Structure 1
Amino acid sequence: MVVLATSIGASHAQTDAVEQAVAAAIDPVMKQYQIPGMAVAVTVDGKHRVYSFGVASRATNKPVTGDTVFEIGSVSKTFTATLGAYAQARGALSLDDPAVRYLPALAGSALGGTTLRDLATYTAGGLPLQVPDTVADMPQMIEWLRQWQPEHAPGSYRRYSNVSIGLFGYLAAKAMNTPFRTALSQQLLPKLGLMHTWLEVPSARMGDYAWGYDKHDKPVRVTPGVFDAQAYGIKTTATDMIRFVELNIDASSIDDAALRQALSATHAGYVRAGVMTQALGWERYRWPTTVDDLLAGNDARMVLDGSPAQRIEPPEASTPDVLINKTGSTNGFGSYAAFIPARRIGVVLLANRNYPVPARIEAAWKILNALGTAHP
């Protein structure tokens, strides 16, 4: 294990305890699931550390560092949500607007009157997890959306969906009169100070881009597709990702008031689904919570099957007394981010293998407990 970045601002004994807790949580997971490399970042009271394990590529044996670039899969949705909330804070849209306002081609369709809020919270009526295999570009996607028929009334059922959040991001960018990739890469990410976070890794940084490993242990990277940028397309470092977590805990260092408002809005509660409350991009739990609740809220059935949902009217304002988290995966990578604003602690796990979500949550839970001890 290599330790990088700044001190977490605790005593040497507390710092050593966190380091030992991280190693104790991560080493067995890497061994059990044959994960080639991981970067783990923690933050306590605005100061962070990055712990590096293993290799970014088995072919070169290049070690993971704080500069290693990982695919974060669906954690990308938290950035899409932030962009949409930023557009609302700037007056470009309202989450209560119907989709047809920004995509007139949906006029007369079942989706036309669906709100941006329903799309952002996966409650539009049962949109599928993945873009259909028959859809290869946006014109085909729009035609498919025109023909789609809901299985549930909007707001009554949550079914996790790349199509739903993808359409939300697409419409938010249209409201800003800017292509999504441009709005994210040239407006949002620079304003957040994330200089090592991309949709397309620059050629000068390809040497830092880890190879993921699939279930056959073959090296892979994510394949582009419709709504990839909005749903699962971000590549970033543990150092940048923990900065994003820190800004979600405390955005006071951001000069842009609309962006501060947007970050807060992504933490608001919009829909209840079992033990979990759906925020924008993020998912939240009342604090204190239990690891069992986190496992239930992130259960595969919540993703694949969906669940009855209750729309929260008006949305619950952001509060510090919550645990906020998000998982993400591509074929070769697995990620997890979680933070507790009231405790000012957070953790990021980035791995170049898509290993089981319960193992991520249990490892992160152990690390958060160690951080809580370091920062009571």
Structure 2
Amino acid sequence: MNKKSWILTCAILFVYTISMAQVNIAHSIQAKLDSLFKQNTVPGILVGSSVKGKHQFYTVGLADKKLNLVFTPETQFEIGSISKTFTAFLLESVMQENGIADTSLITKYLPDSLAKNKEIASIQLLHLLNHTSGLPRLPENIGIPQDRLQPYANYDKEQLYYYLSKVEPKTFGRVTYSNLGAGLAGVVAENISSKSYEQLLSKYINKPFQLKHTGIQSAKKMPKATGYFGNEVASYWNMNVLVGAGGIKSDATDLLTYLDFMAFNQSLPIVKSVLQKTTEVNKQVAIAKAWHTIEKNGTTLLYWHNGGTYGFSTFAAFNPTTQNSIIVVINAFNKNDMADRLGIEIMTNLLNE
């Protein structure tokens, strides 16, 4: 065999080895889904992976039990609190465009009347994004909803501002997970830019990332997964003024494309800032801006966030070194432990090279 033939043979064997490895990974992921589905009562599970930018999708069960529809890469679902990472990107984009530091005080971008509440005078924009504002998980004046499956639909900006005029943050400077803080981050981005959250999403993420089916409105012409609250069909949430905390709907293709952008563009100023670790929960978990991390021996293994609505439990993560990523969607309420474990297991055991 001459040198040229030897090189060609080695190249073919290398490609074959990679292909076989990918096939084995695919079989392993599907086997995990099938096993998990047999052991748990859930309508359906969707997993999407991105390995070196190549997307693969795995499903089991149904996206809609009544219509007998399976999940597809274009089936829309609620991403829940994964929306917070979008909100962080939007606010960071608006701040950089307007020359605003993340240490700026939030009262500068809220009605003047709120400055009278000295209890919120020290809260910075950064505190909204890393859950150290001291604001509670939810505003206490949110009240009993008219529709129990739409807990946020009637909570508007007027009620939010009234609450902020009275609130006394109890845990300022310490990590206390706050949907209110993340929702307020979206409001601040709107106030600075004079654009709606939906307009900001289109300008800074959907168009540049080329996301086709991501927004705050549910799909009309695209396939749509049904979420289940126990045995009840759960309508997609209208999160009103708190949309930045969890109001985005998307599909698997778009969500993986979003993760690809974050993973492949870590040197871009906005991405770099969003991913910069800002506070520590413990030795294993830190928080950047909305994004959580998994740490080991001083190395960031994953950036991740999960999400939960009354109809969906979701998980998204990417490895900053390999640039591989994962999403998990279960169309059922309160299944985050299952989604998180599955996503982390796939990322750490199968997609870590």
TM above 0.5, yes or no, is: yes
Q: 2:169 aligns with which of 147, 150, 153?
A: 150
Offset of residue 351 of structure 1: 1.8
Contact 1:18 1:367 in 2 (8 A): no
TM-score (norm 2): 0.85
| Structure 1 residue aligned with 2:209 | 192
Q: 1:83 aligns with which of 77, 80, 90?
A: 90
How many pairs align? 326
| Structure 1 residue aligned with 2:10 | none
Structure 2's unaligned 5+ residue stretches are: 1-14, 144-153
Offset of residue 361 of structure 1: 2.5
Matched, 1:328 2:307: yes
Residue type of the alignment partner of 1:211? T
Matched, 1:183 2:200: yes
CA distance in 2, matches of 1:355, 1:33: 13
Specify the SS of the correspondent of 1:163: helix
| Structure 1 residue aligned with 2:147 | none
| Structure 2 residue aligned with 1:169 | 186
| Structure 1 residue aligned with 2:47 | 40
Offset of residue 177 of structure 1: 2.0
Residues 121-270 of structure 1: pairs in structure 2 closer than 5 A: 121-129=130-138, 132-134=141-143, 136-152=155-171, 154-155=172-173, 157-205=174-222, 208-215=223-230, 217-251=231-265, 260-270=268-278
Residues 25-64 of structure 1: pairs in structure 2 closer than 5 A: 25-64=32-71
Report % sequence identity: 24
1:189-240 alpha-carbon deviations (Å, 9 max, x no partner):
21221111111034222xx11110112x111123323434201111111111
Offset of residue 120 of structure 1: 1.4
Matched, 1:366 2:345: yes
TM-score (norm 1): 0.80
State the structure with more CA Rg. Answer: 2
Offset of residue 130 of structure 1: 5.6
Offset of residue 187 of structure 1: 3.9
Structure 1's unaligned 5+ residue stretches are: 1-7, 290-319
1:116-169 alpha-carbon deviations (Å, 9 max, x no partner):
1111111112423466433732111101111001213x32x1111111111111
Q: Which moved more, 1:60-69 or 1:134-143?
A: 134-143
Specify the SS of the correspondent of 1:198: coil
1:277-322 alpha-carbon deviations (Å, 9 max, x no partner):
1111110122469xxxxxxxxxxxxxxxxxxxxxxxxxxxxxx843
Contact 1:42 1:50 in 2 (8 A): yes
CA distance in 1, matches of 2:340, 2:157: 35
Contact 1:249 1:341 in 2 (8 A): yes
Q: What do you get for the CA RMSD once the two structures are aligned? A: 2.3
| Structure 1 stretches of at least 4 aligned residues deviating more than 4 Å after TM superposition | none
Residue type of the alignment partner of 1:221? S
Contact 2:329 2:339 in 1 (8 A): no
Matched, 1:22 2:29: yes
Q: 1:186 to 1:17 in 2, by over 3 A?
A: same
| Structure 1 residue aligned with 2:120 | 111
CA distance in 1, matches of 2:348, 2:287: 24
Contact 2:293 2:300 in 1 (8 A): no
Q: 1:276 to 1:59 in 2, by over 3 A?
A: same
| Structure 2 residue aligned with 1:307 | none
1:12-33 alpha-carbon deviations (Å, 9 max, x no partner):
3112211122122222322333
1:99-118 alpha-carbon deviations (Å, 9 max, x no partner):
11111232121223311111
Offset of residue 70 of structure 1: 0.9
Q: Which moved more, 1:352-361 or 1:79-88?
A: 352-361
